[in-house]
Chain A
Amino acid sequence: MSIRAVILVLCLAPTTAGLIGALVPATGWFAPLGRSDFSIQPVMMFFDQPGIWSSIWLSGFTAITATLLSYVLAMFLLASIYRNGRSGVLFRLISPLLSVPHITVAVGFLFLLQPSGWLIRLLSPWLTGWDRPPDLYIIPDDLGIGLIIALTAKELPFLMLMGLSALSQMKVNDTLDQASSLGYGTYSAWLYTVQPQLSGRMRLAVLIVLIFSVSVVDMALVLAPSVPSPLAPRILEWFRDADLDFQFIAAVGAVAQLFLSLLCCVIWLLCGRMMHRLIRVLIYHGLRPRVPAWVSQSIKLAVFFVALLPCFLSVLGLMSVTIWGFADIWRFPAPLPDEWGFRAWISSADNMIVAGTNSLIIGLASSCLAVCLVIIWLEQTASRRQSTIESWLYIPLLVPQASFLFGLQIVLIWLRLDGLYITLIWVHMLFVLPYVMLSLSGSWRQFDQRYTELSATLGSSQMKQFFRVKLPILLTPIMTAFAIGFAVSCALYLPTIFASNGRMITLTTEAVTLATSASRQALGVASFLQMILPLFVFLCCDAIIRLRLKPFRYFRH
């Protein structure tokens, strides 16, 4: 219990301290600016900001739509393919997207879809007749649709992974066999028997996606409309305003974001409950919709198309990012660069080496630490079920980032911990650990105790049982969790700038800095490296697993 308490404190202390650090200025108290009286003034000023309701609405709308879209599509995909065992193939196809940082996907969308983007370059002027970029309302568009699609492209693979892991703990095929023997089709069988169990197990993952989407800054900076922006980038903008009065507004914004996230969660959960009711009614009436095979086939195809479109667009986007990295000159509307070259690589080499090294070190350290802590945690919890205390570990993901990071920055400076490598690793760990826990806890709890019991009867010590029996058997999920942790760390933007005091650059901070500047080439280089680094770690982990499993390959079927 005591080790678990230490882990809890490690994860929760920064979040709590940060929240307090944001709440206090929101009430008007900020002694260093000579304000030591509590007042409602900051709240009034916040609601006085032009377009504030549009910002709030935009944040809520894009978040809920993107989450709904990725959830429904993920469920549809799973329902379509889980049973015939091809989910592995599909998942392997879209899982590389899991490792690509959010900002890279966003930059890809920008390079692909903006009026001067690759798509229009490929179609112009032979098809469109445009020899100049058209004045179109795409990327950024008024409704934030570009942001929604990009978020979906990123969250769909994540929800699929979570879904697959949850399904592996259920007796899906047996249930579906029974249902279809009673005359239910593929989707109704899934909806009536699997979905109700699955949705409960997916709840945490979906809420994480929802809150992430409410508070996303880096993707919104690139893809969302800016007049006004969604709430999260505006909070950052207020924090950065030279007029120091805006600090108060930013603090109120941080609190407002917390409430907005809560509201979105409540809406989501209420809708989920209503769906549940509806499904129960359907089950009660035993509704078995009979549709001709061609209809269900075409629905299936359409769903595949819609589900894979965001992923396909992001792959195209990532390709255009890569091309830009090697384009010395690329005029509109040429479909490919006029002059290829390494100019951007040469001129940004120094920076990229520093940024890449930082990303690598921080990523490796924080995910190593997180994996170790999660294993310790799981070993300390005897029960096979998730405890309430364990869900507290997810709090850093369930509180919008901007809401506690500014406060945390003040606390870190106060403790003289700002800008240290160790601090950055710690803060990254806050975000990495919950994902590692999500990915690892299922397999860990499914571990067949008889293996260790058997080795105990052969006289091995506890240590030996753990290191020689349990760890090697669980190597695959451990390496997967590690790779996911690394990808999460690589993608973190706000935590990096707040905890490093802006002093330490990573590939992500470089990419965001470059994302609004002129040099698409330099941005291409940064984004290319951002794609490669987590992929490299994924492949390394994969290689380790293969190497380890090689002696046993004849036992697998």
Chain B
Amino acid sequence: MKRKQNNCSIGGRIHQYLSLIALIISVSVISLYQSQANADDFETTITNAKGQTVYFNAWGGSPAINQYIAWVGQRMADEYDITLTHVKLSATSDAVSRILAEKTSGKLTGGSVDLIWINGENFAAMKSYGLLQSDDWAYHLPSFIYTDADLLPGIKTDFGIPTDGQEAPWGRAQLVFGYDTAYVNTPPRSADQLAQWIIANPGRFSYPKPPDFTGVSFLKQILLETSPNPHMFLEPADQTDQNMALATLWKWLDQTHPYMRKAGRHFPANYTAMIQMLGDGELAIAFAFNPTEFSNGIAQGILPNTIRSYVHDSGTLGNVHFVAIPFNANSTAAAKVVANFLLSPEAQLHKANSDIWGDPTVLAMHKLPPDTQYAFAALPKGVATLNEGDLGKTLPEFHPSWVSVIEQQWAKRYIGQ
């Protein structure tokens, strides 16, 4: 019995192994087949995309980014016979409200936007109003295999909202400060030190006026550093006492506003205007959502070469930005081809070059071929760019519901006073 049992168990084990192997083979065959099918699907997409025009709605305030998009357009025309038209927005929500107007008037196909550069609040709004292609197209892009959501969770959750594949990752951002060594000896490395520095150096600090994205991000950074319980900002805003949650921010601002540029009564319109003020010497400290921003500024002659960058000791806010396709896009196939190219190692490498744009990649190095990894490592780095290691910790983004709470409360307190 025992032997038989053994036999049986051995036979059973072999059977188990066999079935496991079979399972593995079948899974890999299926997945192979699927990826083959995906690739085939995408071949079809590429064929369908031929001759189409993609209206890419993307913020157009930065010459470096505009030039990068123009380069992408050239590549699309050469390789895929796709015409890429960059519709330069002064605010992404322009395009959002336009797509809304299209839905309003029943224009369910042939919309004016094919691809939109988006993340956070705008994505949350578009997703909840059903203004996006709702299948998980982004996960099926061939270039998506080079990403690793375990390493960078931000590519599948955008400000706490699951992307569900409705947007394809494009780039990565982290809040980085820049200071002019001509006026600042040791940069303040925390919210408290920054407040002290502002009070000691009146008129030399400001931030973009909310609802500007970078301005709100700065307020979030201050909140994360001053709040006794920063974890609550990861949850929807209506689950906590908002007045209590934001109290430390208002205290910080009430303290520092009188010592800011123009006594905190006028603010730069956006971060590019703020960077320009840093270049003029009107401000001595500024910040941006791109680690290579300050090196770029020096290269373009906007900033003097006395500018260096730094981050706060406790880490700074970081997030991922995406491209999405509206529900009524006219050239869906071509838009997917563009999104795939934007995510490809070639385009990501070009984008990460600080001579071009300097936007960090969303790809995972270990998933790339060795020569591409080497190319990323060999990218030129400006004098004012921190090493990957010096960038410190990335603090998680707030739940998007906080944005409007912060904006509205800020407006109530500081507009028309």
Q: Show the binding face of A for B, using Cβ within 8 Å.
A: 30-33, 49-55, 115-116, 131-133, 135, 137, 140, 142, 221, 225-228, 237, 239-244, 247, 328-329, 331-332, 339, 344, 347-348, 350-351, 409-411, 413-414, 416, 418-419, 497, 501-503, 505, 510, 512-514, 516-520, 522
Q: Are B270 and A239 in contact, with the CB atoms below 8 A?
A: no
| A350 to chain B: closest residue by CB | B70
CA distance A133 to B101 in the complex (A): 43
Given contacts A240-B94, A517-B272, A520-B276, 11 further A-B pairs with CB under 8 A are A30-B104, A52-B416, A133-B277, A133-B280, A227-B267, A502-B94, A512-B90, A513-B89, A516-B270, A516-B273, A518-B272
Take A227-B266, A503-B55, A516-B273 as given contacts and tell me if A241 and B107 are in contact as well, using a CB distance cutoff of 8 Å. no
A133 near B281: Cβ-Cβ < 8 Å: yes
| CB neighbours of A502 from chain B (8 A) | 57, 87, 89, 94-95, 98, 112
Contact B203 A32 (CB under 8 A): no
Neighbour of A516 across the interface among B269, B404, B411, B414, CB < 8 A: B269
Interface pairs (13), CB distance under 8 Å: A132-B280, A133-B282, A135-B204, A247-B97, A350-B70, A409-B98, A414-B107, A416-B107, A416-B110, A502-B112, A513-B88, A518-B297, A518-B302
**In this assembly, does B106 line the interface, its C-beta being within 8 Å of a C-beta of chain A?**
yes
A507 to B329, CA, bound (A): 27
Most chain B beta-carbon contacts within 10 A, residue among A418, A501, A502: A502
CB distance from B270 to the nearest CB of A (A): 6
Contact assessment for B272 and A332 in the assembled complex, using a CB-CB cutoff below 8 Å: no
The residues of B that contact A240 with a CB separation of less than 8 Å are 91, 93-94, 97
A247 to B63, CA, bound (A): 31
Which of A419, A505, A514, A517 is B112 in contact with, Cβ under 8 Å? A419
- Distance (Å) between the CB of B103 and the closest chain A CB? 5
Residues of A within 8 Å of B239, CB to CB, are none
What mask results when residues 102 to 123 of chain B are scored 1 for a CB within 8 Å of chain A, else 0? 1111110010100000000110
* Inter-chain contacts of A244 with B (CB < 8 A): 97, 100, 125, 129
Taking a contact as CB atoms under 8 Å apart, the answer to whether B415 and A227 are in contact is yes
Name the 5 nearest CB pairs between A and B, nearest first.
Answer: A51-B416, A135-B203, A518-B272, A517-B61, A414-B105
Given A239-B97, A513-B90, residue A518 in contact with residue B209 (CB < 8 A): no
Known contacts A54-B416, A137-B262, A247-B100: A519-B90 contact under CB 8 Å: no
B-side interface residues toward A, CB under 8 Å? 55, 57, 60-63, 66-67, 70, 85, 87-98, 100-107, 110, 112, 121-122, 125, 129, 183, 202-204, 209, 211, 261-262, 265-267, 269-270, 272-273, 275-277, 279-282, 297, 300-302, 304, 404, 411-417
- How many whole Å from B238's CB to the nearest CB in chain A? 14
Instruction: Give every chain A residue within 8 A of B93 (Cβ-Cβ).
Output: 240-242
Please give the distance in Å from A400's CB to the nearest CB on chain B.
19
Residue of B whose beta carbon sits closest to that of A240 = B93
- Given that A225-B266, A413-B102, A516-B273 are known contacts, is A135 also in contact with B261, CB under 8 Å in the complex? yes
Given contacts A517-B272, A518-B275, is CB(A226)–CB(B416) below 8 Å?
no
- Name the B residues within 8 Å of A520 (CB-CB): 276
CB distance from A36 to the nearest CB of B (A): 13
Question: In the bound complex, do residue A418 and residue B302 qualify as a contact, i.e. CB atoms below 8 Å apart?
Answer: no
Residues of B within 8 A of A329 (CB): 301
A residues within 8 A CB of B282? Answer: 115-116, 132-133, 135, 332
> Cβ of A226 and Cβ of B122 under 8 Å apart?
no
Question: Would A50 and B302 count as touching, CB distance under 8 A?
Answer: no
Contact at B416–A228, with CB atoms within 8 Å? yes
Contacts of A51 in B (CB 8 A): 411, 415-417
CB neighbours (8 Å) of B103 from chain A are 32
Q: Is the CB of B105 within 8 A of A503?
A: no
List of B residues within 8 angstroms of A31 by Cβ: 104
CB atoms of B63 and A348 under 8 A apart:
yes
Give chain A nearest CB distance to B274 CB in angstroms: 9
Name the residue on B nearest A132 (C-beta): B281
CA distance A227 to B183 in the complex (A): 28
Q: How far is the CB of B353 from chain A (nearest CB, A)?
A: 16
Q: Does A243 contact B404, Cβ atoms closer than 8 Å?
A: yes
Cβ-defined contact, A516 with B272, below 8 A = yes
CA distance A228 to B410 in the complex (A): 12
The answer for the CA separation of A329 and B417 in the assembled complex, in Å, is: 38
On whether A410 and B281 interact (CB within 8 A), knowing A227-B265, A227-B415, the answer reads no
Chain A residues in 8 Å Cβ range of B277:
116, 133
State the Cβ distance, B13 to closest chain A Cβ, in Å. Answer: 59
- Tell me if B112 and A516 are in contact (CB < 8 A): no
Closest to A221 in B: B269
Are the CB atoms of A243 and B89 closer together than 8 Å? no
Q: Is the CB of B125 within 8 A of A332?
A: no
**Chain B residue nearest in CB terms to A55:** B416
Closest to A30 in B: B104
CB pair B107 A413 closer than 8 Å: yes
B417 surroundings in chain A (CB, below 8 A): 51
Closest to A338 in B: B301
Interface centre among B55, B101, B417 (most CB of A within 10 A): B101
Give Cα A142–Cα B266 distance, bound, in whole angstroms. 9
Q: How far is the CA of A503 from the CA of B102 in the complex (A)?
A: 14
Question: Could you say which residues of chain A place their CB within 8 Å of the CB of B102?
Answer: 413
Given contacts A116-B277, A351-B66, A410-B101, contact A331 B304 (CB under 8 A): yes
Query: Which residues of B lie under 8 Å from residue A140 when comparing CB positions?
Result: 266
Known: A339-B301, A414-B106. A227 touches B414 (CB 8 A): yes
- Cβ–Cβ < 8 Å partners of B90 in chain A: 512-513, 516
Q: Is the CB of B301 within 8 A of A518?
A: no
A350 contacts across to B, CB distance below 8 A = 70
Interchain nearest-CB distance for B12 vs A (Å): 59
Q: Give bound CA distance, A410 to B110, whole Å.
A: 15
User: Within the complex, which residue of B88, B95, B96, B416 is in contact with A227, where a contact is CB–CB below 8 Å?
Assistant: B416
The contact of A32 among B63, B96, B104, by CB within 8 Å, is B104
Verify B101–A513 contact, CB threshold 8 A: no
Give bound CA distance, A514 to B59, whole Å.
Answer: 11
Distance in angstroms from B398 CB to nearest chain A CB is: 15
Closest residue of chain A to B61, judged by CB? A517
Q: How far is the CA of A516 from the CA of B59 in the complex (A)?
A: 12
Distance of A505 Cα from B90 Cα, bound (Å): 12
A227 to B411, alpha carbons, bound, how many Å? 9
Q: CB-CB < 8 A to B112: which residues of A?
A: 418-419, 501-503
A136 closest partner in B (C-beta): B262
Q: Does B267 contact A226, Cβ atoms closer than 8 Å?
A: yes
A residues within 8 A CB of B129?
33, 244
Alpha-carbon distance A502/B282, docked complex (angstroms): 34
CB of B296 to closest CB in A, whole Å: 10
- Docked-complex contact A503 and B63, CB < 8 angstroms: no
B211 nearest in chain A by CB position:
A241
Chain A residues with Cβ under 8 A from B275's Cβ?
518
Q: A242 and B125: CB pair below 8 A?
A: yes
B87 CB contacts on chain A under 8 angstroms: 502-503
Nearest-neighbour CB distance to chain B for A33, whole angstroms, equals: 8
A55: chain B residues at CB < 8 Å are 416
Instruction: Give complex CA distance A462, B211 in Å.
Output: 63
Q: Nearest Cβ distance between residue B175 and chain A, in whole angstroms? A: 18
Q: Tell me, in angstroms, the Cα distance from A32 to B132 when the chains sit together.
A: 15
- Is the pair A116, B202 in contact by a Cβ cutoff of 8 Å? no
* Min C-beta distance of B64 to chain A, whole Å: 9
Contacts known (A32-B103, A225-B266, A414-B106); A514 close to B122, Cβ less than 8 A: no
Please give, as numbers and ranges, the residues of chain B lying within 8 Å of A413 by CB-CB distance.
101-102, 104-105, 107
Task: Find chain A residues with CB under 8 A from B105 CB.
Answer: 410-411, 413-414
Residues of A within 8 A of B66 (CB): 351
Report the bound CA distance from A517 to B211 in whole Å: 16
**Quick one: closest B residue to A501, CB to CB?**
B112
Q: Are A518 and B62 in contact (CB under 8 A)?
A: yes
Bound together, the chains give a CA A409 to CA B103 distance in angstroms of: 12
Q: Are A501 and B301 in contact (CB under 8 A)?
A: no
Contact A135 B101 (CB under 8 A): no
From A32, A225, A411, A518, B276 is in contact (CB under 8 Å) with A518
A351 to B183, CA, bound (A): 38
